[in-house]
Amino acid sequence: MKQRPFLSRQFGRSKALHALPFFFLCFLLQIAHAEEIKSPNSNLTLTFALQEGGVPTYKLTYKGRDVIKPSKLGLELTNTTSLTDGFTQTNATRRAIDESWQPVWGEVKTIRNHYNELTVTLAQAASSRTMKVRFRVFDDGLGFRYEFERQPKLDYFVIKEERTQFALAGDHKAFWLPGDYDTQEYSTVTSQLSEVRGKMKAAVTQNASQTTFSPTGLQTPLMLKSKDGLYINIHEAALIDYSCMSLELDDKNFVLESHLTPDARGDKGYIQTPATSPWRTVIVSDKAGDILESKLVLNLNEPTKYKDTSWIKPVKYVGVWWEMITGKSSWSYTNLENIKLDSVDYSKTKPNGTHGANTAHVKEYIDFAAKHGFDAVLVEGWNTGWEDWFGKSKDYVFDFVTAYPDFDVQELHRYAASKNVKIIMHHETSGSVRNYERHLDKAYQFMVDNGYNAVKSGYVGDIIPRGEHHYGQWLNNHYLYTITKAADYKIMVNAHEAVRPTGLARTYPNLIGNEAARGTEYESFGGNNADHTTILPFTRLIGGPMDYTPGIFQTRVSAYNPQNTSFVHSTLARQLALYVTMYSPLQMAADLPETYNKFLDAFQFIKDVAVDWDDTKVLEAEPGDYITIARKAKGKSSWFVGSTCDENGRTSSINLNFLDPGLSYVATVYADGKNAHYEKNPQAYAIRTVKVTNKTKLKQLCAPGGGYAISIVPSGTAR
């Protein structure tokens, strides 16, 4: 690389410079400490500079428009000089990378990793320390992180707060969740940034059991839209051995600043060098669909750590779950509460008659899965202890290996295997993390011995030890420990109530699913907003797939539990669309078999739709309003389209030019029926078939809270 002259290197040897006016010297020195790098397509420009006092800053522009105005960088440390100012630049290196890689599972077969990189080395004279800031500029955005080499004056440090800023260019429209250390299970609020403070109280009280750390604290991924039409997404990638980042909003100047999750003592992180922070990410485009198609977060994670990934397979499943969520069945075997696990004899305890995870009932689910070609059956409430937990006993814990007397582990293992169906294990930790870790090897070995190769883990409730948070460094290390330990046993993990994903599934692809957002279960707890599924792909799904558990056909919960007046804020047709728009390699048909048996024509789409993909195209998108996505099934010529819209309804217009030219296809359209409406007439749907080619353009009416799904197969191809 050809380097430009470095003025400060010549400064002491040039008498001519001594003759220049002082203010001009300052200007030259400032230029000397400015570095610029562009994206491969030159649309994005990243500029790094040291401001007065040696304060590191960066700015980002897109096609000449401000995305991030000059923003400060650095970390505030505990009981020592902070890494926020007093720096001089000692080095700057550049490189360009253009490579491709294939995910173990994903939305596309091949991902291009193409970026220009700038790494700046900074020295702090007051502490004799150095810090690097590494920037990677892709065509779709920016990633940057802090790096700390092992050094005598910085071998170990405690983070008081990270001081990374994102200075925005205006009062953007935002799709936000209240800042919280323990949950993302809020309804998304759509407002201008200037309105966040006024809307925060209502956003929190909507979920009365939850709290926010600040009246202007926001979670990531944070989706924004500027008044001049720029779509901006701020998040993080590769969250390892570090606390999760939220954002504190200065709603007067529209500056966001990082806010890390604290531990029980209030510290934000314990760092042993050499070390790196997670990447801070900014995805940007003037097209909303580009945000959904971005692979920036995945590209900033390391390649898979596993030599053999043949045991990691996408899964389509049914399960004993929704019936408990609605209140039709129970997790617990008996109605006793506050019992002590070391004294109760369940074989002599009277059953409550509503326990869902009993042998005969689970066999019914296995039969249904086998008949319709599903891979697995999830069973929750199979193990002892649920009465104790629901009773809020002080000593509630699970051992993850002891079944209730009506759940025959060996018989169900035999029966499922005979039907070529797997059972998915459920581990509810009750937030007792150390207890789970103590039992982990035994629990995973129990799974291997009984034919389970996937587990849904849960972290409901306050974390034990008390004072730790779901998104703190200690818990983030625990989540990764469970994933790597599971890999030793060739087990896939679907973690619920864990930290929001940051692309780690690239490195650890047995992390096949996460919740970390307000999922379908809330449709039984009062309901999700009708625009919910038009926002989640722009926010929660930026970091990785979500186990959203779609496919609810009986949208009136009272049909299962007369005391529950909730309803699913969606038409039946949109429930089908979610299998395409809400990406996950782990997809559940969440409703009950008896309900699907009443709608087998619509259920056909769930049977047909793939869970792993060779290609993905975003056909229409506007956050909060609508999303239409087309995906090509892995190793096949079939395509599937899904479209979801908000409470207003709309007419969708799509072009099928992504189909192979010269071929004819049969499209089966599952659409909202006449007068369909997510509140008034949710089960109205219509199915039609049409012949299409890559020249076909389709229009389809979407009902309020509705949508449509299409399966497209080459003519003559059997289902």
Residue from 490, 499, 410, 412 nearest 455 by CA: 490
Stated as kind and residue range, the H or E segment containing 697 is strand 697-702
Report the distance separating Cα 432 and Cα 459, nearest Å.
8
| Strand 222-225 with 231-237, pairing | antiparallel
The reply to whether omega before 70 is within 30° of 0 (cis) is no
How many CA atoms lie within 13 Å of 267's alpha carbon, on the beta-carbon side? 13
Report the distance separating Cα 616 and Cα 625, nearest Å.
20
Q: Report how many helices (DSSP H) and strands (DSSP E) the chain contains, helices first.
A: 15, 36
Q: How far is CA 430 from CA 115, 144, 169, 298, 465, in A?
A: 42, 36, 43, 30, 12
Q: Compute the radius of gyration of the chain from its Cα atoms.
A: 27
Calculate ∠ Cα 115-116-117, nearest 5°: 115
Give the DSSP letter of residue 350.
P
Report the distance separating Cα 467 and Cα 264, nearest Å.
4
Report the distance separating Cα 305 and Cα 301, nearest Å.
11
3-state secondary structure 456-499: EEECCCCCECCCCCCCCHHHHHHHHHHHHHHHHCCCEEEECCCC
**How many C-beta atoms lie closer than 10 Å to residue 314's C-beta?**
21
Report the distance separating Cα 346 and Cα 696, nearest Å.
62
Type of residue found at 469: H
Residues 611-616: contacts with CB within 8 Å, 24+ apart?
611/314, 611/315, 611/316, 611/584, 611/585, 611/586, 611/587, 612/105, 612/106, 612/314, 612/585, 613/106, 613/107, 613/108, 613/109, 614/108, 614/109, 615/108, 615/109, 615/658, 616/107, 616/108, 616/293, 616/583
Question: 345 near 319, Cβ under 8 Å?
Answer: no
Residue from 511, 536, 509 nearest 522 by CA: 536
Handedness of CA 61, 115, 294, 497 (dihedral sign): negative
Per-residue burial over 137-173, b = 16 or more CB atoms within 10 Å of its CB, e = otherwise: bbbbbbbbbbbbeeeeebeebebbbbbbbbbbbbebb
Widest distance between CA atoms in the chain: 97
Q: Angle of helix 359-372 relative to helix 409-418, nearest 10 degrees?
A: 20
Q: Would you list the DSSP string of 371-383?
A: HHT--EEEE-S-B
Q: Where are the beta strands (DSSP E) in 8-64?
A: 35-38, 44-51, 55-62
Q: Where are the beta strands (DSSP E) in 63-196?
A: 65-72, 75-77, 87-101, 111-124, 129-138, 141-148, 156-162, 165-168, 173-176, 189-192
Residue from 421, 482, 434 nearest 457 by CA: 482
- The DSSP bridge partners found for residue 400 are none
The catalytic residue positions are: 521
Report the distance separating Cα 659 and Cα 343, nearest Å.
64
- Structure tokens given for 184: 């993302």
